A and B are shown apart, each in its own frame.
Chain A
Amino acid sequence: MAQIFHRSTNTLSRVSVFGAVFFIAFLLWLFDAVNRSPYITQQGIARVQPVQFSHQHHVGAIGIDCRYCHTSVEKAAFANIPPTKTCMNCHAQIWNQSPELEPVRESWRTGRSIEWVKVYDLPDYVYFNHSIHVAKGVGCETCHGRIDRMPLVSQHPSLEMSWCLDCHRAPEKYIRPREDVFTMGYVPAGRQEEIGEKLKAEYHIRPTRELTDCWTCHR
């Protein structure tokens, strides 16, 4: 009776047993890679908003300070999304016939909220507070990127925990003088390490061991 399999399949089967290890490793890697990709993290993907508000225009071209709208960024956990009233401060007169702004005027007339789409959506088990970061010299730009060059806002970092820890482990690499927190396009006046170390002492930034405690962010 003839053999069903040729002799060469012996080798083939050994190779495939060996290859399965790599195949499984590849699947694990693929799972991790997809998880870290913008497909999951939403990094760099501009959100479509009910009004196509351009930070590039309002911050970059007009030069309006972040805090004009994000009023509570210096004193609360939440930076604040401005109420329609803040839009109407200017747009009652400027572009007040523009169809682009009809949702704003409608909200103003009816009192219904504009439902903006949240861009930086942290998991609910993470505690984050804007005011402490601003007070300790973390620039807006450090986490939000060049907002003054974003027609539509996208998420600048991946917002993975490792990204948070990059700074919590070595804040001196990222912090800047308080008066430059709201500056876009800040360039340190000297070596960042030296400036960072000096500011870290001056602003009483806690030691890395405390900044990387679990309960610092998961409370």
Chain B
Amino acid sequence: MRRLRFAVLVALALASAFCRQDMQDQPKYKNLRGSAFFDDKRSARPVVEDTVARGSLWQDDRFTTGKADGKLVAALPVPLTRELLERGRDRYGIYCTPCHGLTGNGMGMVVQRGFRQPPSFEIDRLREVPVGYFFDVMSHGFGAMPDYAAQIPTADRWAIAAYLRALQLSQRTTIADVPASARPALESPDAPAKAAPLPVDVDDWRRAVDEGPTEPPEREH
């Protein structure tokens, strides 16, 4: 009987050894993990006033504020390259299309769901503003639009501003503006119409909304 009791104790000790999760849950802070030390329970501390985070000190005022001598800059403070425009299109697709729409007409999905409609980028006022204006609005917000300074890094805001100019041009472009060499590609039925695609296939989500969650389609291997 005593031996049995001993065996049971050993078994229990072994079993509880398996249950310890000290390595799994170490007493350290990982991203956004709560803290028992600070009053607001955040381990991620807000930036201390009048300090600049490493890597975010830029000397060029035109680049960081979009202004020179208190006036909005009319020229991009970064070199205009194809990569910059493509980056801008990409970021525009992520952060701006929910309201402004893919063509910039101000009829994005969130507007269709009741957000105040922003003006189209095509209107004369916005065609005439200096490029720094777009940067300034993205950085500080305007009207109903909140600021995107926290979501879009400075360099990307300039990329979007540059792309907005291209977007404005594209809305008043006729086939006559396209070089003759590029026209056949545009007229072919499978011309790439791939400007910042939505993250989902439209038919897919309609189906998802109609039918609720379904299994993903079988993949071919």
Are B205 and A68 interface neighbours, CB within 8 A? no
Contact of B26 among A59, A80, A113, A124 (CB under 8 A): A124
User: Once bound together, how far apart are the Cα atoms of A203 and B146, in whole Å?
Assistant: 37
| Complex interface bits, A42-58 against B, C-beta within 8 A gives 1, otherwise 0 | 00000000000000100
Q: Which residues of chain A are near B5, meaning CB under 8 Å?
A: none
Per DSSP, chain A at the interface is loop
Closest residue on chain B to residue A126 by CB atoms:
B24
Are A56 and B208 interface neighbours, CB within 8 A? yes
Closest residue on chain A to residue B22 by CB atoms:
A124
Are B41 and A59 interface neighbours, CB within 8 A? no
User: Once bound together, how far apart are the Cα atoms of A109 and B79, in whole Å?
Assistant: 41
Given that A81-B32, A93-B114 are known contacts, is A62 also in contact with B98, CB under 8 Å in the complex?
A: yes
Q: Which residues of chain A are near B23, meaning CB under 8 Å?
A: 123-125
Shortest CB distance A105–B (Å): 15
Closest residue on chain B to residue A115 by CB atoms:
B34
Contact of A149 among B28, B30, B150, B214 (CB under 8 A): B214
Which residues, 152 to 180 on B, are CB-close (under 8 Å) to A? none
A197 within 8 A of B: no
Given that A65-B199, A94-B114 are known contacts, is A60 also in contact with B32, CB under 8 Å in the complex?
A: no
A169 within 8 A of B: no
Chain B CB within 10 A, most for which of A89, A90, A92, A125 = A89
User: Once bound together, how far apart are the Cα atoms of A89 and B25, in whole Å?
Assistant: 34
Q: Which residues of chain A are near B213, meaning CB under 8 Å?
A: 56, 146, 149-151
Q: Which residues of chain A are near B113, meaning CB under 8 Å?
A: 62, 94
User: Once bound together, how far apart are the Cα atoms of A183 and B200, in whole Å?
Assistant: 6
Are B146 and A85 interface neighbours, CB within 8 A? yes
Q: How many residues of B contact A (CB 8 A)?
A: 43
Which residues, 101 to 149 on B, are CB-close (under 8 Å) to A? 109-110, 113-116, 144, 146
A64 within 8 A of B: yes
| Complex interface bits, B37-68 against A, C-beta within 8 A gives 1, otherwise 0 | 00011100000000000000000000000000
Are A94 and B221 interface neighbours, CB within 8 A? no
B184 within 8 A of A: no
Q: Which residues of chain A are near B219, meaning CB under 8 Å?
A: 187-188, 192
Are B109 and A63 interface neighbours, CB within 8 A? yes
Given that A78-B32, A113-B40 are known contacts, is A185 also in contact with B217, CB under 8 Å in the complex?
A: yes
Q: Which residues of chain A are near B205, meaning CB under 8 Å?
A: 60-61, 63, 148
Shortest CB distance A215–B (Å): 16
Closest residue on chain B to residue A180 by CB atoms:
B197
Shortest CB distance A188–B (Å): 7
Shortest CB distance B111–A (Å): 10
Q: Which residues of chain A are near B31, meaning CB under 8 Å?
A: 77-78, 80
Shortest CB distance B199–A (Å): 5
Which residues, 164 to 221 on B, are CB-close (under 8 Å) to A? 197-201, 204-205, 208-209, 212-214, 216-217, 219-221
Given that A60-B208, A93-B144, A185-B200 are known contacts, is A124 also in contact with B28, CB under 8 Å in the complex?
A: yes
User: What residues of chain B have their CB less than 8 Å away from a CB belonging to chain A?
Assistant: 23-26, 28, 30-32, 34, 40-42, 93-95, 98, 109-110, 113-116, 144, 146, 150-151, 197-201, 204-205, 208-209, 212-214, 216-217, 219-221
Given contacts A124-B24, A149-B208, 11 further A-B contacts (CB under 8 A): A56-B213, A60-B200, A62-B110, A63-B199, A64-B199, A123-B23, A124-B23, A124-B28, A183-B200, A188-B219, A193-B221
